Amino acid sequence: MSSGDTRPETRFYGAGVSPGIARGTVNVVTDDFEEVAHYRISADDIAGEIGRFETALIQTRAQILEMQQKIAEAIGAKDAGIFDAHLLVVEDRTLIDEVLRKLENDRYNVEYVFQEVATHYADTLSKIDDPYLRERALDIQDVTRRVVRNLQGKAPKPVLSMAQPHVLVAHNLTPSDTATMNRDHVLGFATDLGSRTSHTAIMARSLGIPAVVGLHDVTQKLESGQEVLLDGYSGLLILDPTPETLWHYGELKDRKRRVAEKLTELRETKSTTRDGRHIVLSANIELPTDVDTVVENGAEGIGLYRTEFLYLNRATLPTEDEQYATYRKVAEKVAPHPLIIRTFDLGGDKIALGMNTDDEQNPFMGLRAIRFSLEHLDIFKAQIRAILRASQAGNVKIMFPMISGLNELRRAIGVLDECKAELQAEGIPFRVETEVGAMIEIPSAALCADSLARHVDFFSVGTNDLIQYTLAVDRVNERIAHLYEPTHPAVMRLLKMVSDAAHAHNIWVGVCGEMAGDLTMVPLLLGLGMDELSVSASLVPRVKRAVQTLSIPECQQLVADALAMDTPTEVLARCGEVAQKHYADLI
C-alpha cells in the first residue's frame, strides 16, 4: 500500500484455531478438482480396470504411510495418527465394493466410477449435522484426489504455494495440504470453511502455523498480492491493516513472547496458591509418546490416560501383554508421580476394528464406556489385569468412565476384585492397594456422589460430558454450541455437590475435562474445592501460573457470589473479573 493510499482496513471475522500473528502478502488458491476422463469400457476391460484400481489403492496407502512417518518424525505420533482416518478410507470395503459393482454394471473407466462413488459418499457426510462426520467427508475428498492422481499416473499434488513468505487463503484445506506445507513460506493460513475440531486445525496447532477458519467467502473478496494481517488468537483476517493496527499487533506479539519466557521458568515450581494450598496439576494424554511433553511442561503426573487409542485403527485387539508393556513404560516415565489410567471409553464415535457392534441411533447414550466394558468382560478383564500388573512400576491408579450409579460401580469393582484374585492365584505381582476412582460425567452420578464416594478412593469430573448431558447440548453442533455453558447454575451446583461429597468421605476430587484448562474457570474450580486439575500438557504452565496468583478465600467468595446468580453470563463475567485481576496477561 503506497503512502498516499488512504483505503481503510477491512476486517473479516472467523474462528481462530491456531494461535499466532502472521503478516504478509496474500496467496489466494482455488480448488482445482482433477479433470477425470469419462469413457465406456467393454466387459473384457473390467479385469484390467480392477487391477488398475487395486494398484492405485496400494500406491495411495503407501503415500499416506510415508506422510504419516514424516509427520511423526517432525511433530510426533499423536498428530500423525490423524491420517489413520485416511487409511481407513482406502480400506473401506463398502466404498470399494460399490466401485466394483458400478464398474461391472455401468462399464465406465475406473477413475470416473471411483470419483463418482467417493464424491457421493463425501457429499452425503458433509450434509449431516455432525461436525465429526463432516470432517470425515474432508478425509474422503483428500484421499479421492490421491487415488485419482495415482490412476492417472500423476505424482501427488502439493498445495499451491509461492516460493516466498505469504499468508495462504483457500476455500478449504485438507490435512494433507496442511501437513505438507512449507513452513518457511506459509506464515499462516485462512479458509472459508473449517472448525476448531477439524484435523486441519489440529495439524496447524501442532505445526505452529497461525490459522483462522470459517471466514465464509473470503476467497472471493481477496486477491493474491494484497497485504494482510492474520490473528490466530481471535480469528481475524485484516486487509490493508492501518499503522495503528500494526502497532497494536506488534505490541501483542511482544507481550506474548514475554509471557512465554516467564512460563518456561515455572517448570520446576509447584502449583500452590498464594495462601499455601497445593493444587495437584496433572496432564491428560492419549498416546505413550505424549509422556515426554508431560515431563517437559512440569506436570505432576498424568491425571487422565485415554486408553481407547490403543484399540483404534487396528484389525485385532491388543493383548493383555501388549497393554501391560505400554502401561508399564508410561508408569516408569512419570514415577513417582501418579498415572491414572481410564479404562477404555469405546463406543460413541470410537469403535475399534476388532469389535462387533450394532448400529445405534444415539451411540453417545448407548453401549459405550463402562457399559461396553461390562458387556465385554473378556476385553475388560484383559485391560484390568494389564493395569494391575503395571502398578508394580509406579504410582498407578485405575478409573472407570461414565459411571451412572452405584450398581454399575459395584459391578466394575467386582470385576477388578476378580482380576486381583486371579493374579494372586497365578503368582503374578501387583500393588494390592492400587487406588480406584470413578469418573463423574453423568448428572445421575453427580446426584449420587455421596453414595459413590463410599466405594472409591477419588473422583475425577469429566466436565465435557457432564455439561453436555446436563444441558442436553452437543457442544460441537454449530447451531447450538452457544448453549454449551460451563458456568450454567445447574453445572455449578452439580460440581459443588460432587466436591462436597468427596470431602465428606475423605477422598480427593479432580477435574480432567476442558474446563480445567480454561483460565477463566480456574478460580471457580478452586473455590468449589477441586484438589486436582488435569489439562493438556501444553496448558500446564499457564494453569500453574494462574493457580500461583490466586488465594482460596477469594475463590470461595467467587463461588458464593456465583451461586447467588441466575444466569451463566453473570457467572462468567464474575469469573472473568477475578481472572483479569490476577493474570490478565495470560488471557
| Residue 61: CATH number of its domain | 1.10.274.10
The pLDDT value recorded for residue 64 is 86
Range in 2-11, 44-53, 409-418, 460-469 the model is least confident about = 2-11
Identify whether the C-beta of residue 234 lies closer than 8 Å to the C-beta of residue 216.
no
Is pLDDT at 313 greater than 70 in this prediction?
no
One domain for residues 337 and 410:
yes
The reply to whether 261 falls in a domain is: no
| Phi, psi torsion values for 468, nearest 5 degrees | -60, -45
One domain for residues 399 and 343:
yes
The pLDDT value recorded for residue 114 is 93
Residue 576's contacts (CB-CB under 8 Å, 6 or more residues apart) are 520
The 8-class DSSP code of residue 291 comes to H
Is pLDDT at 291 greater than 50 in this prediction?
yes
Q: Which three cell numbers stand for residue 401?
A: 468412565
Per-residue pLDDT averaged across 1-18, rounded? 75
Q: Which of 71-80, 197-206, 330-339 has the highest mean pLDDT?
A: 330-339
Q: Where are the alpha helices (DSSP H) in 32-82?
A: 46-75, 77-80
One domain for residues 171 and 284:
no
The pLDDT value recorded for residue 493 is 97
Residue 199 a catalytic site member: yes
The pLDDT value recorded for residue 182 is 77
Residue ending a domain, among 151, 177, 212, is: 151
The residue among 564 and 135 whose pLDDT is bigger is 564
The pLDDT value recorded for residue 355 is 47
The pLDDT value recorded for residue 452 is 98
Is pLDDT at 263 greater than 90 in this prediction?
no
Residue ending a domain, among 113, 130, 151, is: 151
The tally of domains found in the chain comes to: 3
The 8-class DSSP code of residue 308 comes to G
- Tens digit of each residue's pLDDT (9 = 90 or more) over 356-373: 445 566 666 777 789 989
Q: How far apart are CA 459 and CA 399, in angstroms?
A: 9
> Could you identify the residue written with the cell 457429499?
123
Residue ending a domain, among 121, 151, 181, is: 151
One domain for residues 77 and 177:
no
Per-residue pLDDT averaged across 558-579, rounded? 96
The pLDDT value recorded for residue 75 is 60
Q: How far apart are CA 53 and CA 233, in angstroms?
A: 44
Q: How far apart are CA 377 and CA 371, in angstroms?
A: 10
Parallel/antiparallel/unpaired status of strands 186-191 and 21-29: unpaired
Confidence of residue 259 (pLDDT cuts 50, 70, 90): confident
The reply to whether 267 falls in a domain is: no
Q: What's the chain's average pLDDT?
A: 86
Q: How far apart are CA 468 and CA 447, in angstroms?
A: 16
Neighbours of 183 (CB within 10 A): 10
The pLDDT value recorded for residue 51 is 93
The active-site residue out of 199, 337, 488, 582 is: 199
The pLDDT value recorded for residue 216 is 86
Is pLDDT at 4 greater than 60 in this prediction?
no
Per-residue pLDDT averaged across 183-191, rounded? 88
Binding residues for Mg(2+): 441, 465
The pLDDT value recorded for residue 130 is 59
Neighbours of 210 (CB within 10 A): 24
Is pLDDT at 393 greater than 60 in this prediction?
yes
Binding residues: 306, 342, 441, 464-465, 475
Report the largest interatomic distance among the alpha carbons of the chain, rounded to a whole angstrom: 87
The pLDDT value recorded for residue 507 is 98
Confidence of residue 162 (pLDDT cuts 50, 70, 90): low
The reply to whether 329 falls in a domain is: yes
Per-residue pLDDT averaged across 39-51, rounded? 92
The reply to whether 462 falls in a domain is: no
One domain for residues 65 and 27:
no
The pLDDT value recorded for residue 561 is 97
Per-residue pLDDT averaged across 342-353, rounded? 64
The residue among 129 and 263 whose pLDDT is bigger is 263
The reply to whether 422 falls in a domain is: yes
One domain for residues 108 and 138:
yes
Domain that holds residue 65: 43-151
The pLDDT value recorded for residue 473 is 84
* Sign of the alpha-carbon torsion through 50, 69, 133, 403: positive
The reply to whether 504 falls in a domain is: no
Q: Which three cell numbers stand for residue 33?
A: 478438482
Confidence of residue 80 (pLDDT cuts 50, 70, 90): low
> Could you identify the residue written with the cell 480406584?
436
Identify whether the C-beta of residue 466 lies closer than 8 Å to the C-beta of residue 494.
yes
| % of the chain surpassing 70 pLDDT | 88
The active-site residue out of 419, 512, 555, 575 is: 512
One domain for residues 143 and 165:
no
Confidence of residue 79 (pLDDT cuts 50, 70, 90): low
The pLDDT value recorded for residue 295 is 84
Domain at 426, CATH number: 3.20.20.60
Is pLDDT at 381 greater than 90 in this prediction?
yes
Domain at 240, CATH number: 3.50.30.10
Shortest CA distance to 205 belongs to which of 165, 235, 178? 178
One domain for residues 297 and 195:
no
The reply to whether 328 falls in a domain is: yes
Confidence of residue 283 (pLDDT cuts 50, 70, 90): very high
Confidence of residue 353 (pLDDT cuts 50, 70, 90): very low
One domain for residues 51 and 129:
yes
Identify whether the C-beta of residue 356 lies closer than 8 Å to the C-beta of residue 376.
no
One domain for residues 291 and 350:
yes
The reply to whether 362 falls in a domain is: yes
- pTM passes above 0.85: no
The pLDDT value recorded for residue 176 is 74
The pLDDT value recorded for residue 112 is 93
Parallel/antiparallel/unpaired status of strands 227-231 and 21-29: antiparallel
One domain for residues 388 and 536:
yes
One domain for residues 24 and 69:
no
Is pLDDT at 484 greater than 50 in this prediction?
yes
Residue 38 a catalytic site member: no
